[in-house]
A and B are shown apart, each in its own frame.
Chain A
Amino acid sequence: MTLNRYIFRRLIEIGISFFIILTALFLLFHLAPGDPVARMVDPGMTAEDELRLIAQLGLDQPLWHRYLKFVSNFFSGNFGISFHYGQPVSQIIANRLPNTILLFTTAVILSALAGVWLGKIVAWLKGRPMDTAVTIGALVCHTLFLPWIALLIIWLLGYQWGWFPITGMISPEVWIAPGTSMLAKAIDVLHHMVLPMLTLFLIHFGSYLLIMRSSMLDTLAEDYIYTARAKGLPERMIRDRHAAPNAALPVVTSVGLSLAFSINGGALTEKVFSWPGIGRELVFAVSNNDYPLALGCFLLIAAVVLLANLVVDVLYAFLDPRIRY
């Protein structure tokens, strides 16, 4: 089927999935032990505010009504008011989301590219010392415990050598000072981004390399590689134009499959480095019993993961002509 119909069908599937998740969460929040009202409305508010909010969220209605209100609120972007910040949850999320996307997407893309590139080189050298060394290195990276390596990186590069700032996304002094150019601000953000990105990069790079390497080794047994050799093509060309593009396809799929796990890592990284993203906000919200914020963050992350899966699927369909044509 054509690309457009494929995207359309996937969007519908995502919609259904998300709806199910939404419903499941609603049921959880309203049926778990405890007072559901106290979960959505800060008991510390004034009585009238509280009543108004209760009406707005439909909490005084029977379950079925509440559900409909919940869904319609979600789609109109109303997630309630955060207990901790006292602001609408949607505002907080809108504030944090770009930071997460910046960090996470860059890390994943860079590590995927690096993993694919090195993976193809190393697979071609199978058995040689370089291959063994790099594969072992990738294996070690793949099995590292993320928070621990984050702490180590902070200790070594941030504390001992003082090259990079340890926490946060920006240095307030830089941003507040009058007359700082956009470029200086951008560089400041990048400076802060190095350590968290290095952490995410290390963990993912190992996995992607291993997958690419194993995919390449499978590809080498294919008929068209025999054809390419028979055609008298130089080895480099066979590797880069025939083997690698075919071998990279399963890597794309596995990036998609491991997205959920990657998001876990993203949240952990944000927490350790105090990077102001959605992941960190979720962890905060849970520690503070800030239910509206926690719910909002989680739903948004779920939506992002689903969409990211779609992006990966579309990318795959785009790259593999057998699907497109």
Chain B
Amino acid sequence: MDCLLEIKNLTISYRTGGGHTTTAVDDVSLTLSKGESLGLVGESGSGKSTIGAAIMGLLPRNAEIVSGEILFNGENLLQTDAEALRQLRWKQISMIFQSAMNALNPIQRVGNQIVEAIRVHEPETSPAQALERVEMLYHQMGIPVERLRHFPHQYSGGMRQRAIIAMALACNPQLIIADEPTTALDVIVQDQILKTILALQKKLSLGIIFISHDIAVIADMCHHVGVMYAGQIVEIGSSEEVFATPGHPYTQALLDAHIILSDDGKAPRAIVDHSIDTAEVERGCRFAPRCPLVKSKCRETAPQWLKRSEKHWIRCPMAPAGSPEK
């Protein structure tokens, strides 16, 4: 299986006012093959959204790519010129956003916004043809076709999310970046949307990068998972392996904090609430301040990668070997 997306040693920092810089993404590497999905899980500020934006070339002006490569079908996106990148957007790589109030242009009809995406990237399409395609998409997503003439504020949250998904599929992309697509929705709608995305992925062989802070969603949806903390990936591997045998203490903490219905009444352990100050911890392990397994050498030297299995890598020397927990 050829490699759809490969990120090598990507480091991104932000220039904040007053001459400071913060590193948002620190030496991140990952690969994704066609038809597979990778979940990026972590709390706010861990850098997961920044990676998503970097792939699309949508970083804010004060972001700086310090080093690394983003290879899409072999081509380094960071070296592509602006116009080529613009054409690549949506046609090859598209995005599913959170269904925020203003994610869509509030004064333009939703149907027109999707048609616009099609006609910009496939100009030979006539308006009628484009409209037909959008109608088909709506049909697939289960949205009544009359809704095309409506405005975003007339849609419910779930329906708007579906419209956003429809829009993301409009140009038949190869890769979709889904950035917290179900966070704002209630659980039932969330479930429906996730099932839809899963079905679409199987049918169209889409590559998906799924960004979320909700580990349960990632566990359901993705073949692979990368756990991010403070801009670094601390654990990466296939979903089965990572969730069955979590290596990094942070992963373990995330799992522990999550309540499962089938649990035997064990109380969830909350993660101590500190916001991550990436500027603070330069040497040593970033997770040291909050780690239950911390030793003195953790604060001194940066942790090395440990290989658990073919695909499963952990960035923590303290990780207990092999046996499944619980």
Chains A, B in direct contact (C-beta < 8 Å): yes
Report A's interface with B, CB cutoff 8 A. 222-224, 226-234, 237, 241-242, 245-246, 249, 319-322, 325
A contact face: mostly helix, strand, loop, or mixed: helix
Of A227, A245, A320, A325, the residue contacting B104 (CB under 8 A) is A227
Which residues of the other chain, A, contact B120 by a CB distance below 8 angstroms?
231-234, 237
CA distance A224 to B105 in the complex (A): 5
- A224: chain B residues within 8 A (beta carbon): 102-106
Q: Are A322 and B153 in contact (CB under 8 A)?
A: yes
Segment at the A interface, from B8-16, B89-97, B211-219, B238-246: B89-97
In the bound complex, do residue B102 and residue A231 qualify as a contact, i.e. CB atoms below 8 Å apart? Answer: no
Which residues of chain A are within 8 angstroms of B104 by Cβ–Cβ distance? 224, 227
Q: Please tell me if the beta carbons of A226 and B105 are within 8 angstroms of each other in the complex.
A: no
Ranked nearest first, the 4 interchain pairs of A and B with the lowest CB-CB distance are A232-B89, A232-B90, A223-B102, A224-B105
Q: How far is the CA of A237 from the CA of B101 in the complex (A)?
A: 22
- How many B residues face the partner with a CB closer than 8 A? 29
- CB contacts (< 8 Å) of A249 on chain B: these are 107
Question: Contact: A245 with B107, CB < 8 Å?
Answer: yes
Q: How far apart are the CA atoms of A71 and B90 in the complex, in Å?
A: 65
Asked whether any CB of chain A lies closer than 8 Å to the CB of B304, the reply is no
Chain B residues within 8 Å of A230, by CB: 56, 58, 89-90, 94-95, 97
- Which residues of chain B from 69 to 105 have any CB-CB distance to chain A below 8 Å in the complex? 86-91, 94-95, 97, 100-105
Candidates A231, A233, A234, A325; contact of B154 at CB < 8 Å: A325
Tell me the number of A-to-B contacts counted with CB atoms below 8 Å: 75
**Cβ contacts under 8 Å, B301 to chain A:** none
CB distance from B123 to the nearest CB of A (A): 12
B residues lining the A interface (CB < 8 Å): 56, 58, 86-91, 94-95, 97, 100-108, 116-117, 120-121, 150-151, 153-154, 167
Docked Cα-Cα span, A249 to B107, in Å, equals 10
- CB–CB A232/B86 < 8 A: yes
Q: Across the two chains, which residue of chain B brings its CB closest to A228?
A: B105
Which residues on A sit within 8 Å (CB–CB) of B117? 231-233
A122 to B138, CA, bound (A): 38
**Residue from the set A224, A237, A249, A320 with the largest chain B CB neighbour count within 10 Å:** A224
**Residue contacts A-B, CB under 8 angstroms, 13 given:** A223-B100, A226-B97, A228-B105, A230-B56, A231-B167, A232-B87, A232-B120, A241-B116, A246-B107, A249-B107, A322-B106, A322-B107, A322-B151
Residue A321 contacts which of B58, B90, B91, B107 (CB distance < 8 angstroms)? Answer: B107
What's the Cα separation between A230 and B58 when bound, in Å? 7
B149 CB, nearest partner CB in chain A, Å: 10
Shortest distance between the CB of A219 and any CB in chain B (Å): 10
User: Shortest beta-carbon distance, B13 to chain A, in Å?
Assistant: 20
Given A227-B97, A232-B87, A234-B86, verify A320-B116 contact (CB < 8 Å).
no
State in angstroms the CA–CA spacing of A241 and B115 once bound together: 13
Q: What is the bound-complex CA distance between A230 and B98, given in angstroms? A: 13
Q: Which residue of A lies closest to B86 (CB)?
A: A232
* Most chain B beta-carbon neighbours within 10 Å: one of A230, A234, A241, A325: A230
Query: Which residues of A have CB within 8 Å of B116?
Result: 231, 233, 237, 241
Q: A228-B105, A233-B120 are in contact. List 20 more A-B contacts (CB 8 A).
A: A223-B97, A227-B103, A229-B58, A230-B56, A230-B89, A230-B90, A230-B95, A231-B167, A232-B91, A232-B117, A233-B86, A241-B116, A245-B107, A245-B108, A246-B106, A249-B107, A321-B106, A321-B153, A325-B150, A325-B151
